[in-house]
Structure 1
């Protein structure tokens, strides 16, 4: 809207408190604060949800790849041939042999379920998802009898670097009295943190040669981890492999492996956006009510302006500008508040936990160790535009009422 000089002057005066109009100004201030809180809440929640999803995706895909080609019955004796087929497929960047087997672990009388993962030494040491807490992954080499375990698992067992932890495999020797479980002791060479609670509580990493020996698998592996050029097109990229390995292996991509988790996040994201948008809608109604009160308080002024030649469209522009400016200031303040909160998000969580004595971010429930955040610029712009559009729409009715004021009726007895 392009305002004339007098329209800008009047709009500016209406934005500032006049004598006897403190209550109207208070309502307008509350409207501004409400818009600010609504915009900030939306930005904070959506950024945290995006960060949560992105962090989970990075951790899960960084450890498990974009897809796995798993042998039928958990055994893949011809894995080299299948890995070659995968590598030669357009769009595939790597195909890595893996062994993954649930076992039991024991240390000092404590027993915990673990997920044994056998990997090539170079893959263990070059995996950027693994953060070393104690020890060194360089100690975990074939034949060294050393393993790396998650920090939560180490806490549960009471183990540390140098501890002798026993791994119990049900695949042992067969005797006349049944199968005797295979129990092998390993030295903890490193304690790692992945950042996902379920992984940190269960994972035990060892060289693939040691895993084959422990599980009596010979030269076989359990699966092949595949990475592609585009994680979201993994099904299309790997479609040619499915026919070539039919009957020998099956392909499972990251979306299938974590379907329930990511679908729940998507539903929660939409629900949170819808609920928090109501805050902005409430703020818009506050703008509407403050403008209606302003119009009623300025009825005589409006009538005088009409008698002096002010046009209806000009009066509408004045009041629409007042309401839109209130909304715009609220949006700007909300953006600033949201970004400040996101920058200090973990400090805020720690402070609230300290004051309340409650654990607000339990990794057992939230999966991740820290509160994540990833701000989407397009989403932020969308939230700001939505708040501005709502604010603008809220000004139409009060502005129309102001423009419809009949100066004859108002000034008849003055």
Structure 2
């Protein structure tokens, strides 16, 4: 299918119409533009959705691990033995005790619902790169200090060094009834994970302090587990779930966040299917421009046939012309898509400024920034889709051109 010098010369001539063919050139330019915009839109949308899923996965798993072993009733007795058993499970890379409990926090008359999270010193140290103010290393057992999320600090007006009061409604029983337990903690650090739900509610403290606050003694609520492969977490944890049946429940990150990730996957497939029609529209533009070119060049085609040009040569000339338009548009679309992704944050801010609307509200979309992650396999798929549709769009007009009868055309010339 390689082109001869003659075929390539004619194809280049048709790619750059002369002065008298400005309308054909305009239609061809529009075809290139439509292909470019459709490819760029597909690349941008799919990359943003992939980035959203990946960023959400990284942040959620970074906070909660790949799976949790949660005790029935919220208290896991003899947890040291269970922890040792989980750590011995093949495929488990790390396991650590964890306490989580919804409570209330107050500061200067402001009250917010919070999640008290009791972590080991190792897990607390992993928050070091998320700290925006203060020193996370001050979180030591019995030191009376905590770290809180950045949004929570904004909501109740807390700064590093201030003291917040955490209220545990399940306090001690007295002759006058149950008295809520209230303990003051100094804010030693403010962190920002990047997930709005976490940053607006989490209060982190060492496990012994959480046990004291919740009056749970030497028990924990759950065990956080990390595995060699997050996608195989269910299979890796299956033996643990079987051994702990009746005592605790094993839940993977897929089960905990199933609604979010299933919705993202459905939306991703639906968006790709819907936006693919834009590439199909672009292919119809190529078809229409090529049909106009064939009609305009009917006399030239007849002359080339009388001079010895074969049907195959004409077919190759017009297929090459139309396919080149699609290829140029596809490459331009990839470049435009890359530029949009690179400058996505300024673009979002500019649109928000012009419209007066917050296009990326973290309260709705969980993340505080617009993520993007290009998948090479998807990019290749988009390119192949655009090129294949461009090629198919050239076949009909190219076959019409190659089937031109020079006798019928030149009879009236």
Q: By the TM > 0.5 criterion, same fold?
A: yes
Number of aligned residue pairs: give it: 413
Q: After superposition, give the CA deviation of every residue in 1:329-369 in whole Å (9 maximum; x if it has no partner).
A: 00110111111111111121122222332211111111101
Q: After superposition, give the CA deviation of every residue in 1:170-212 in whole Å (9 maximum; x if it has no partner).
A: 2201134432211111111111001011111111100111000
Residue 356 in structure 1 maps to residue 355 in structure 2: yes
Residue 87 in structure 1 maps to residue 83 in structure 2: no
- Which whole-Å CA distance do the structure 2 matches of 1:400 and 1:65 have between them? 59
- Which whole-Å CA distance do the structure 1 matches of 2:67 and 2:127 have between them? 16
What residue is the counterpart of 2:369 in the other structure? 370
Q: After superposition, give the CA deviation of every residue in 1:208-255 in whole Å (9 maximum; x if it has no partner).
A: 110000000111000000000000001111111112212211101100
Moved beyond 6 Å, runs of 4+: none
TM-score with structure 2 setting the length: 0.98
| Secondary structure at 2:19 match in 1 | coil
What residue is the counterpart of 1:62 in the other structure? 62
- Which whole-Å CA distance do the structure 2 matches of 1:398 and 1:162 have between them? 76
- Which whole-Å CA distance do the structure 1 matches of 2:17 and 2:357 have between them? 43
**How do 1:323-334 residues align onto structure 2 when only pairs under 5 Å count?**
323-334=322-333
What residue is the counterpart of 1:386 in the other structure? 385
Q: How far is 1:115 from its partner?
A: 0.7
**How do 1:73-84 residues align onto structure 2 when only pairs under 5 Å count?**
73-84=73-84
What residue is the counterpart of 2:334 in the other structure? 335
Q: How far is 1:149 from its partner?
A: 0.5
- Which whole-Å CA distance do the structure 1 matches of 2:374 and 2:180 have between them? 50
**How do 1:271-350 residues align onto structure 2 when only pairs under 5 Å count?**
271-350=270-349
- Which whole-Å CA distance do the structure 2 matches of 1:233 and 1:317 have between them? 50
Q: After superposition, give the CA deviation of every residue in 1:125-183 in whole Å (9 maximum; x if it has no partner).
A: 1246x611111101211111111010001111111111111111122011344322111
**How do 1:3-402 residues align onto structure 2 when only pairs under 5 Å count?**
3-127=3-127, 131-402=130-401
TM-score with structure 1 setting the length: 0.98
- Which whole-Å CA distance do the structure 1 matches of 2:365 and 2:213 have between them? 34
- Which whole-Å CA distance do the structure 1 matches of 2:127 and 2:162 have between them? 24
- Which whole-Å CA distance do the structure 2 matches of 1:304 and 1:153 have between them? 79
Q: How far is 1:320 from its partner?
A: 0.4
What residue is the counterpart of 2:408 in the other structure? 409
- Which whole-Å CA distance do the structure 1 matches of 2:177 and 2:246 have between them? 31
| Secondary structure at 2:165 match in 1 | strand
- Which whole-Å CA distance do the structure 1 matches of 2:137 and 2:175 have between them? 42
